[in-house]
């Protein structure tokens, strides 16, 4: 094998290895998959967002059990499923229990979900439920502390794009602490059980 053959082989290997590296390395125009696990346990905590009725501050709801779900109104099935289950749990409560519980739907799509739309959407599931949103920075900070994940994904939909998001229901204890994280499609009876346990303890 002469020097020319060796040079051609080395050059070819270099091109192949370069192509493999560029394919595997993430670039700015390639979406990076969301992590499957959270590096640290969610801490929850106070937050301030906006509703159609003005500012919403979690600290103003001390003494109540607060149920939180992150999603967006253009979601075709996952959000309606979880909100319907939350609604079933709320509908199973007594009038006295309802005065001590607050359901929240937090939109992670502030570009399209305006507060007036969110109020109507949330109250479609239950008259006491509130729809909230905020600036991208406010939502990202809150979602990080609660262990929620979401990202905008271009694709064919009624609104022009989709939002991939986690689908847990977060239960806040009367003292404002994050008490439980219930997975997607947790039955209404389980939501009711956890909520009533917290009410009894408080």
Rounded to an integer, the average pLDDT of 116-125 is 98
| Residue 153 near residue 164 (C-beta atoms within 8 A) | yes
Here the tokens at position 175 are 């003292």
Given its phi and psi angles, is residue 176 left (phi above 0), alpha (psi -120 to 50 degrees) or beta? left
The b/e string for 151-183 (b: 16+ C-beta within 10 A; e otherwise) is eeeeeeeeeeebbebbbbbbbbbbebebbbbbe
Provide the pLDDT for residue 6.
Answer: 39
Give CA–CA dist 19/54, Å, rounded: 53
Q: Which helix (H) or strand (E) holds 129?
A: none
pLDDT per position as a tens digit, 87-117: 999 999 999 999 999 999 999 999 999 999 9
Provide the pLDDT for residue 159.
Answer: 67
Provide the pLDDT for residue 26.
Answer: 35
Look at the pTM and tell me if it is higher than 0.75.
yes
pLDDT per position as a tens digit, 150-188: 999 987 666 689 999 999 999 999 999 999 999 999 999
Rounded to an integer, the average pLDDT of 55-72 is 98
Given its phi and psi angles, is residue 118 left (phi above 0), alpha (psi -120 to 50 degrees) or beta? alpha
Provide the pLDDT for residue 8.
Answer: 35
Which of 101, 58, 52, 105 minimizes the C-alpha distance to 78?
105
Given a cut of 90, is residue 192 above it in pLDDT? Answer: yes
Rounded to an integer, the average pLDDT of 35-40 is 41
CATH number for 48-201: choose from 3.40.50.300, 3.40.30.10, 3.30.230.70, 2.60.120.260. Answer: 3.40.30.10
Provide the pLDDT for residue 39.
Answer: 41
Q: CA–CA distance from 107 to each of 5, 143, 157, 171, 176 (Å)?
A: 62, 11, 17, 17, 21
Q: CA–CA distance from 37 to each of 42, 46, 86, 141, 185 (Å)?
A: 11, 23, 25, 18, 19
Domain ranges of the chain: 48-201
Provide the pLDDT for residue 155.
Answer: 73
């Amino acid at each position: 094998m002469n020097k020319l053959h060796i040079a051609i082989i080395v050059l070819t290997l270099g091109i192949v290895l370069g192509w493999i590296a560029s394919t595997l390395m993430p670039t700015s125009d390639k979406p990076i998959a969301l992590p499957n696990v959270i590096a640290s346990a969610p801490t929850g905590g106070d937050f301030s967002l906006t509703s159609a009725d003005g500012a919403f501050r979690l600290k103003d709801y001390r003494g109540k059990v607060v149920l939180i779900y992150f999603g967006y109104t253009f979601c075709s099935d996952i959000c309606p499923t979880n909100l319907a289950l939350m609604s079933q749990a709320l509908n199973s409560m007594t009038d006295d229990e309802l005065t001590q519980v607050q359901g929240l739907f937090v939109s992670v799509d502030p570009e399209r979900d305006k507060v007036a739309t969110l109020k109507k959407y949330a109250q479609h599931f239950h008259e006491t439920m509130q729809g909230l949103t905020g600036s991208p920075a406010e939502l990202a900070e809150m979602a990080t502390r609660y262990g929620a994940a979401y990202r905008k994904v271009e694709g064919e939909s009624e609104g022009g794009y989709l939002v991939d998001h986690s689908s847990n229901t977060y239960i806040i204890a009367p003292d404002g602490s994050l008490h439980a994280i219930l997975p997607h499609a947790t039955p209404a009876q389980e939501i009711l059980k956890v909520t009533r346990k917290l009410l009894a303890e408080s």
